[in-house]
């Protein structure tokens, strides 16, 4: 028997939409995720999500300031598993930065082990280091978490709860500053002095109409953990009004007497922007000043920094102009730098750029919110406690009746019903009077439970006295909490008292000096101009030698060096390469040496890349301005370019335009040459007058000088004068170049016999 089957067609709803709309929505979702959930801090606690989660996890683990250190790997793993599923490196990096006193004005983590240093060395692996909370973190950011003062939300897999913001009791965003790059926006808040920020916050609480300029009487400006000097004091009010601007920071420099009468310039504080690898960059820049003769008075440079602080010593000659040298450091190195301020943070769920007053306003509002929730919860607890205490005191006054009820009841529920509702049915009383009194007790349910749970020792006289005293304290607390919640002045005073306590225990003296300083002016040390020779060997090592040395050893120098160019010591050298580039660099960037000195690789002083290009010609900038340059390429394209076009400020420009697959074969400055002869790889040649080649711009391709057949190419180029005796080697014979047939440009050429 055949079985008939029915096939049901399931119709799918296909949603058609524009690809651009999907991309736009997806990108906006991604951007907001990065902005809100990763890169930017919340203005209320000054923390990014990864920092907040790490500190909360340490709090949950019990890694308190008065407890033993815990392995960083344990903290990182627990944070990643519970709250922050974005990789261990981001969590450990956040933990490390929060422990570094050279990056944070008030470190939030107490690190034990190698947590990096100011010179840019990274922290040890997390399996080697240990950490715990700082006391200020526990007191100022985490203390009231158990009082339900902030909202909690589910973690990434909804198995745990995490705080959406920490109950921070001071403006951590200003105190510790922050840096972060989101999508389409970035934040950069400098650190400030804790005591000054608290004073400014109190001033705002006393007068909410206070101006930014008045607030800056308390919070004078940034206080970088590395110290230094802010040199544009007058510009700070505008920066703190808008939340954006540039702060100029200088290192602190002193002078000491050195050995043999030398002068030591000692840098004891550095700009905040120099923290990390930029200290090494600064030392390299100072060494470059010495090598380029811009600071010829430098004798020695040494970095003597240690755990005690920064100490960079630059030894100068006896007769050095110290003030001019210090100004040179400010001008030419990062000893004077700018800190870009962009006080961007999350406020009410949105990223906003805020000035000083707005940040303080948000923090003050947050403090009122915390205090309201805290004292509302405390009041509820005290009221519940008062209710129970009153029930116990009342029970102690009629304790004989209570005992009679308990002894006469069959079970707890019967006794409880009697205490709460006055039900006496089923209870054996000693007298009718007791039964009547029992019906009038009417305790509340919490009071009845407390009475039933009360232990006998509570009936001791001293215990009853303590209960009465505790009740009096509870009543006083209720009165105080109600006053705080009902009167804004009382709440403000409580907040200010907490701020004063934090300031007294944790505030430190200001490190950064704020002043108005004149811009550094440098009197450039003029190097006496003289003729020198640039020489470079076939391995690409170059140097400069004086004219006397070259002329004395001319024959050996011409044999040893591939490129030789006479130039001024104050001028530039130009390198023309086969891919059509022109690289320039200053002669002063090369070392002045003896004939046998090795020199430096040409790659080190220019943008020339020996892996992808070859040098065709070398000339001094001053010579180029006097002559016109003749270009010949492999595909026989030629042109003449005025040498002045190559007097450029950029270190690398295009010297000529090339066709696909073409390359430069020859570049020479034109002097008294009259003829040009091209020899191809297949043995063809063409000879014609140079005047047939037109003058073009450097961006032009040029004109064709010879019709090449097949895969033939220009191999060699000869330039001759009227009576030149130059010769070509061909099949063992030497042929005079000027004896070759003279023709017109763009011919097919003649076979060389």
How many angstroms separate the CA atoms of 221 and 245, rounded?
Answer: 13
* Sequence-distant (≥ 6) Cβ neighbours of residue 631 within 8 angstroms: 637, 638, 639, 640, 641, 655, 656, 664, 666, 667, 702
Distances in whole angstroms, Cα of residue 380 to Cα of each of 409, 570, 659: 33, 83, 85
* Sequence-distant (≥ 6) Cβ neighbours of residue 576 within 8 angstroms: 582, 615, 616, 617, 618, 619, 655, 664, 667
* Sequence-distant (≥ 6) Cβ neighbours of residue 352 within 8 angstroms: 43, 344, 345, 346, 358
Helix (H, G, I), strand (E, B) or coil at 389: helix
265 backbone dihedrals φ, ψ, rounded to 5°: -95, 115
CA nearest neighbour of 371 among 495, 535, 189: 495
Strand partners, 734: 729
Q: Where are the alpha helices (DSSP H) in 273-347?
A: 278-291, 322-332
Neighbours of 419 (CB within 10 A): 26
Q: Catalytic residue at 128?
A: yes
How many angstroms separate the CA atoms of 69 and 130, rounded?
Answer: 6
* Number of residues that this document lists for the chain: 753
* Sequence-distant (≥ 6) Cβ neighbours of residue 84 within 8 angstroms: 49, 50, 53, 54, 90, 91
**First vs last Cα of the chain: how many Å apart?**
100
Neighbours of 638 (CB within 10 A): 27
How many angstroms separate the CA atoms of 602 and 625, rounded?
Answer: 23
Neighbours of 670 (CB within 10 A): 15
Q: Running DSSP on this structure, what letter comes out for residue 726? A: -
CA nearest neighbour of 168 among 507, 510, 495: 495
Strands 664-670 and 628-633: antiparallel
Strand partners, 667: 631
Which token pair is 538?
């076939």
Strand partners, 245: 341
Strands 513-514 and 229-230: parallel
Strand partners, 298: 316
Catalytic residue among 69, 128, 675, 718: 128
Kind and range of the H or E run holding 716: strand 714-720
Catalytic residues: 128
């Amino acid at each position: 028997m055949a079985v008939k089957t029915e096939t049901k067609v399931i119709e799918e709803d296909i949603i058609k939409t524009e690809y651009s709309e999907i991309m736009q929505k997806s990108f906006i979702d991604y951007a907001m995720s990065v902005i809100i959930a990763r890169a930017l801090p919340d203005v209320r606690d000054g923390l990014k999500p990864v920092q907040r989660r790490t500190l909360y996890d340490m709090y949950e683990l019990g890694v308190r300031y008065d407890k033993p250190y815990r392995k960083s790997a344990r903290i990182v793993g627990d944070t990643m598993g519970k709250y922050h599923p974005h990789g261990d490196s981001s969590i450990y990096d956040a933990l490390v930065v929060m422990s570094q006193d050279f990056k944070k004005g008030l470190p939030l983590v107490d690190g034990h082990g190698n947590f990096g240093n100011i010179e840019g060395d990274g922290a040890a692996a997390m399996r080697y280091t240990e950490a715990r909370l700082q006391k200020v973190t526990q007191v100022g950011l985490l203390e009231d978490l158990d009082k339900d003062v902030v909202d909690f939300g589910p973690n990434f897999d909804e198995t745990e709860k995490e705080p959406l913001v920490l109950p921070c009791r001071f403006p951590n965003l200003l105190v510790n500053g922050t840096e972060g790059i989101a999508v389409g926006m970035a934040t950069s808040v400098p650190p400030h002095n804790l005591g000054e920020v608290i004073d400014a916050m109190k001033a705002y609480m006393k007068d909410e109409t206070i101006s930014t300029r008045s607030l800056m009487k308390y919070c004078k400006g940034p206080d970088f953990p590395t110290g230094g000097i802010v040199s544009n004091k007058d510009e700070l009010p505008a920066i703190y009004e808008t939340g954006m601007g540039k702060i100029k920071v200088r290192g602190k420099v002193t002078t000491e007497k050195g050995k043999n009468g030398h002068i030591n310039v000692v840098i004891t504080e550095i700009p905040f922007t120099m923290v990390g690898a930029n200290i090494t960059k600064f030392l390299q820049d100072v060494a470059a000043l010495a090598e380029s003769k811009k600071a010829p008075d430098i004798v020695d440079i040494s970095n003597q920094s240690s755990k005690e602080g920064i100490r960079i010593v630059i030894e100068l000659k006896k007769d050095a102009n110290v003030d001019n040298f210090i100004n040179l450091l400010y001008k030419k190195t990062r000893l004077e730098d700018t800190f870009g301020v962009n006080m961007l943070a999350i406020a009410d769920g949105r990223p906003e750029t805020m000035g000083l007053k707005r940040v303080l306003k948000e923090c003050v509002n947050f403090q009122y919110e915390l205090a309201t929730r805290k004292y509302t919860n405390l009041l509820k607890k005290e009221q519940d406690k008062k209710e129970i205490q009153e029930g116990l005191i009342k029970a102690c006054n009629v304790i004989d009746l209570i005992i009679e009820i308990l002894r006469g009841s069959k079970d707890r529920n019967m006794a409880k019903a009697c205490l709460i509702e006055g039900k006496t049915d089923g209870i054996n009383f000693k007298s009718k009077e007791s039964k009547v009194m029992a019906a009038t007790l009417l305790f509340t349910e919490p009071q009845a439970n407390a009475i039933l749970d009360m232990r006998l020792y509570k009936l001791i006289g001293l215990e009853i006295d303590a209960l009465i005293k505790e009740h009096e304290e509870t009543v006083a607390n209720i009165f105080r909490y109600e006053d705080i919640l009902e009167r804004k002045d009382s709440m403000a005073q409580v907040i200010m008292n907490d701020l004063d306590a934090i300031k007294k225990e944790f505030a430190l003296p200001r490190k950064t000096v704020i002043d108005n300083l004149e811009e550094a002016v440098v009197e450039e040390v003029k190097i006496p101009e003289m003729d020198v020779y640039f020489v470079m060997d076939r391995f690409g090592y170059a140097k400069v030698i004086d004219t006397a040395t070259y002329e004395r050893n001319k024959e050996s120098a011409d044999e040893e060096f591939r490129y030789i160019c006479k130039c001024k010591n104050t001028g530039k050298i130009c390198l023309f390469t086969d891919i059509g580039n022109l690289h320039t660099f200053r002669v002063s960037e090369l070392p002045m040496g003896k004939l046998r000195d090795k020199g430096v690789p040409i790659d080190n002083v220019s943008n020339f890349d020996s892996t992808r290009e070859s040098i065709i010609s070398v000339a001094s900038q001053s010579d180029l301005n006097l002559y016109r340059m003749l270009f010949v390429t492999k595909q026989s394209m030629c042109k003449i370019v005025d040498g002045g076009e190559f007097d450029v400020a950029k270190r690398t420009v295009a010297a000529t335009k090339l066709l696909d697959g073409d390359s430069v074969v020859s570049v020479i400055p034109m002097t008294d040459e009259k003829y040009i002869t091209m020899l191809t790889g297949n043995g063809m040649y063409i000879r014609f007058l140079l005047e047939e080649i037109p003058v073009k711009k450097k961006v032009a391709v040029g004109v064709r000088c010879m019709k090449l057949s097949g895969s033939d190419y220009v191999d060699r180029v000869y330039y001759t004068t009227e009576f030149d005796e130059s010769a070509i080697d061909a099949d063992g014979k030497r042929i005079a170049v000027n004896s070759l047939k003279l023709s017109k440009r763009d011919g097919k050429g003649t076979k060389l016999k």
